[in-house]
Structure 1
Amino acid sequence: MEAVKVLLIEDDEDQAFLISEYLAESSNPFEVDVALSWGECEGKDLSKYDIVLLDYNLPDISGIEALRNILSKADLPVIVVTGENEIDTAVKALRNGAFDYIVKAGDYLRALPVTIMKTVEQFRIRKEKERLLEELRAVQEKLIQSEKLSAIGRLVAGVAHEINNPLTGIIGYSQMLLSMGDLDPIVEKGLRIIKEEADRAVKIIQNLLQFARKHPPQRELTSINLLIQKTLELKEYELRVNNIEVILDLDPDLPLTVVDPHQLQQVFINILTNAQQAIMSAGVKEGRITIKTELINFGEPMIRISIADNGPGIPEEIIDKIFDPFFTTKEVGQGTGLGLSICYGIIKEHNGNIYALNSPEGGAVMVVELPVLSQEEIERGIARETAQPPPPLRILVIDDEKSIQDLLVDVLSADGHKVDTASDGRIALHKLSSRKYDVIIADVKMPGMDGRTFFEYLSRTNPSLKKRVIFITGDTLSGETKEFLNRVDNICLEKPFSLEEIKSALSELVGRLSKE
């Protein structure tokens, strides 16, 4: 059993000797360090003791003042030793933080070892309870925050679903009209503004969906260097007015890779914003952020992006916690603690790594590592983007939104396809009973028979036809829809989709069917 370290503060040498000897001869192991005055005690490291025995009547300091001094310097139990007629004094000491008291009367030394051991154990239990309660409060706070976010997420997903349907029509028709050419300059300008503002609304929705963790990666061949430069354009004004210089060290031979550029840009913006805030909070007059890209190879090629600042760095005691949900060092109301947690999720979805470290020169460094696709995979991606348009097809569009029906009829008919429409799965099945279709474009969620029920019916009655289905969805891939789409192998477009995306999906489907 490990010895209990006792600091005895007692000005009476005879009493100090008696207490020390009695504790030394006890069956419990004690190590007693004696201070015969408060002056002797002041130079001691109180944190190395398990308990303090404090004589209340010291000549060079009042008992209450000594007690307060001890408790301000170390978190440990203090037993106050008082005279026989000083019960009121003992009560006063307890009110000021003493853990217990002993009265110098009768055979008090006999009870002292047990009292010390009991106090040390009770203090340990009290601290453990406090720790558990603090953990419980933290978990409760996280649960409350999580429930709030879950409610916000459901609201955002529902709103996005309702907005994505009309945006599909706005973007699609503006694209189609702009492609006609020979437009009046004022009309063309108006159409471009409509298209740009609709695209901006899409980005806002995607940001909200990413916050709600409902936006899946939409990956494409991307230049990381170019994406960093575009991200800096968004932050340029803020950085410039705060006198923060950006130094770029970008590898010109960095290969392309497949990422979701929107999500990755969100990661870069978050890291840059944190670096900017760190520099400003430290009062650095000439701020500096250095961004470096390089190709590394530890078993497999990876693109490494390092973003370093000359701020105060990250305290070592929290550096391993910064990616935890809800962890934040900001004041209440200034941050949810979700930014880096979301960044961590995005990079992990890309099969990459993200971590933080402190630079030897000072400041923090955030490192992102992304896998590089093989040349064959890149060429396959390019081939998909440059796929030849399919021959004229007979297409059935199933969607309860009239504007989306009309858009797809107009767009696909302009490319020579014959297009029929149905507002739900039952009407579509009726049309399928009397006519053959090369492709079926079906919304996943609709009133009546939805796309999922329609597809499952096809799987039972006409398995060969289910391969010809392209899904479109405006419900932002909710859990139910995501589970269904993960189970099937069909192409799916998320609303709002562009004309190029719907045409590319047709080409990809025809390419798949031609290989069977």
Structure 2
Amino acid sequence: QADSAIEANEKTGTAFAFDQTIKLPDGKRHVSNIRFPIRNKEGETTHVGGLVFDRTVEKEAADAISAAREGLHQSEKLAALGQLLAGVAHELNNPLAIVMGRAAMLKDKLAGTAHEDSIQRLRDAADRCARIVKTFITMARQTGPQRTMVQIPDLIEAALDMTGHGLRAAGIALELQIEPDLPELTADGDQLIQVLMNLIINGQHAMAGQQNEPKLLITARQEAGTARILVEISDNGSGVADDVAARIFDPFFTTKDVGVGTGLGLSVCQSMIEAHGGTLELTRPVLGGATFRIGLPPGEAEVVDRADAKPAVEIPYRGSALVVDDEQEVADILAEMLDEKGMTCRVVTSGQAALEALAEQRFDAIFSDIRMPRMGGSELLAAIERDYPDMIRRIIFATGDVLHPEVDALRKSGRPIVEKPYDPEQLRAALLQLHEIGETP
């Protein structure tokens, strides 16, 4: 640029301006240069003059504003994605409730038969789908992880159960180096499985189409001199360029083709690990490709049961229950689950029908969906409080959309809320809550 300036000054007699970044011992300087010709009385250019303006502070301020604007834009996109995930989760939870309920009942009926193993596999897959949906919801509402005692080898095994077929189909050699007797961690196992699955799949994609034999190495060990657990996932793919490595955990940054990746995976993974007080970083390659290292502290975090269940107390599933849900199949599966436990159920598909049923008889428990046309959970609660106040404390609400504002409002009523798809432990816990306050016979 300086040569261009001199050429412009000498040949055309015009001034020339350009910006420049200069590396100095104390850091970089961003400067603006102006070069201009100096003429003699005959009009000939004899010298070149110049002015230099230090614009470092201005440039850094502009970069900070740009970064803040981009961060705000990404936050808005993440918020929109959260709402999308919540909507998808709600739509998936109702059919999942049917699949999980049927699988649970079939498992009991086919125990000891040749079909028992197949039904267990079906139920395990449905449970996994339900946990993935709950992970979506957790991401969307940005709550902290729900921690229980977990074993890292078990989580790695579970992640490989879900990704192993893809690795085998891609001809990827898998090697595990897991130290024996690793200490337990207090962590959200489902979230950690999601992180491991994402890193494994990323490694698989990084090795696609390469000539040498693809290999994935997973190691787990206790860090020397500390109680931290380190899990590393390494591939021998093409590696990560320096400019990509600097942005690899940025939301929506991806090197994958359109339609292959959104750029959310590593960003979400890092957020999940940091929520556990851990770290996720790109480290020195072990196999010549890329290595992602997860560091997790042992911690003394409070252990919270995922279903918020009470201590193991047998609940007498007796008496009558009114099941209110605008989706007939979802209502039927809940009624069947309660019937098999010993409760007599009546199913209705609207809030108005629920009020008509209450005019005919009293129930020991009322399970009501929250989002229903014409009369939702809040309206039904208000109508029961007005017309049948003795029944108000018998209500248990159910929802597949825990992010809906109406859910937060109903939580303040103090009524139990169970999430779809129905989990037997959550149902037991909700009935236990009614039992403890003397609302069940």
Amino acid paired to 1:353: G
Q: Matched residue of 1:179: which SS?
A: helix
2:343 is matched with which residue: 384, 405, 417? 417
The verdict on how the C-alpha distance between 1:403 and 1:139 changes in structure 2, with shifts beyond 3 A counting, is: same
Bigger Cα displacement from structure 2, 393-402 vs 308-317: 308-317
Corresponding position of 1:227: 155
The verdict on how the C-alpha distance between 1:379 and 1:310 changes in structure 2, with shifts beyond 3 A counting, is: closer
1:480 partnered with 2:409? no
1:264 is matched with which residue: 188, 192, 197? 192
Amino acid paired to 1:273: I
Identity %: 27
- Structure 2: how far apart are the matches of 1:448 and 1:321? 48
Amino acid paired to 2:50: I
- Structure 1: how far apart are the matches of 2:111 and 2:207? 52
- Structure 2: how far apart are the matches of 1:428 and 1:327? 50
Aligned 1:235-246 pairs, distance under 5 A? 235-236=163-164, 238-239=166-167, 241=170, 243-246=172-175
Cα offset for 1:169?
2.8
Cα offset for 1:161?
3.1
2:177 is matched with which residue: 221, 238, 248? 248
Q: Deviations over 1:414-468 (max 9, x none)?
A: 3222323443444434554665443221211112221133335667888886554
C-alpha RMSD of the superposition: 5.3
Cα offset for 1:342?
1.4
Q: How many residues align?
A: 422
Amino acid paired to 1:396: L
Would you say the 8 A contact 1:472–1:495 is kept in 2? yes
Amino acid paired to 2:367: I
The structure with higher relative contact order (CA 8 Å, sep 6+) is 2
Cα offset for 1:152?
6.1
Amino acid paired to 2:101: G
Corresponding position of 1:509: 433
Asked which structure has the greater CA Rg, the reply is 1
Amino acid paired to 1:116: G
Would you say the 8 A contact 2:100–2:123 is kept in 1? yes
- Structure 2: how far apart are the matches of 1:488 and 1:348? 33
- Structure with more helix by fraction: 1
Corresponding position of 1:309: 234
Corresponding position of 1:441: 367
Would you say the 8 A contact 2:384–2:391 is kept in 1? yes
- Under a length normalisation based on structure 2, what TM-score does the superposition of the two structures give? 0.70
- Structure 2: how far apart are the matches of 1:270 and 1:163? 21
- Structure 2: how far apart are the matches of 1:462 and 1:106? 105
- Structure 2: how far apart are the matches of 1:506 and 1:479? 20
Corresponding position of 1:358: 283
Aligned 1:135-284 pairs, distance under 5 A? 136=66, 139=69, 143=73, 154=83, 157-181=86-110, 202=130, 209=136, 213=140, 222-236=150-164, 238-239=166-167, 241=170, 243-255=172-184, 257=186, 259-261=188-190, 263-276=191-204
Structure 1 gap segments, 5+ residues each? 1-50, 53-65, 68-77
The verdict on how the C-alpha distance between 1:170 and 1:181 changes in structure 2, with shifts beyond 3 A counting, is: same
- Structure 2: how far apart are the matches of 1:200 and 1:335? 22
Would you say the 8 A contact 2:321–2:365 is kept in 1? yes
- Structure 1: how far apart are the matches of 2:85 and 2:366? 29
Corresponding position of 1:471: 397
Q: Deviations over 1:102-149 (max 9, x none)?
A: 153339999989x622xx33x949x949x9499759956983x77676
Corresponding position of 2:50: 116
- Under a length normalisation based on structure 1, what TM-score does the superposition of the two structures give? 0.61
Amino acid paired to 1:323: F
Would you say the 8 A contact 2:324–2:366 is kept in 1? yes
Q: Matched residue of 2:269: which SS?
A: helix
Cα offset for 1:338?
0.9
Q: Matched residue of 1:213: which SS?
A: helix
Would you say the 8 A contact 1:206–1:215 is kept in 2? no
- Structure 2: how far apart are the matches of 1:331 and 1:176? 44
Corresponding position of 2:263: 337
- Structure 2: how far apart are the matches of 1:380 and 1:399? 24
The verdict on how the C-alpha distance between 1:293 and 1:447 changes in structure 2, with shifts beyond 3 A counting, is: farther
Cα offset for 1:183?
10
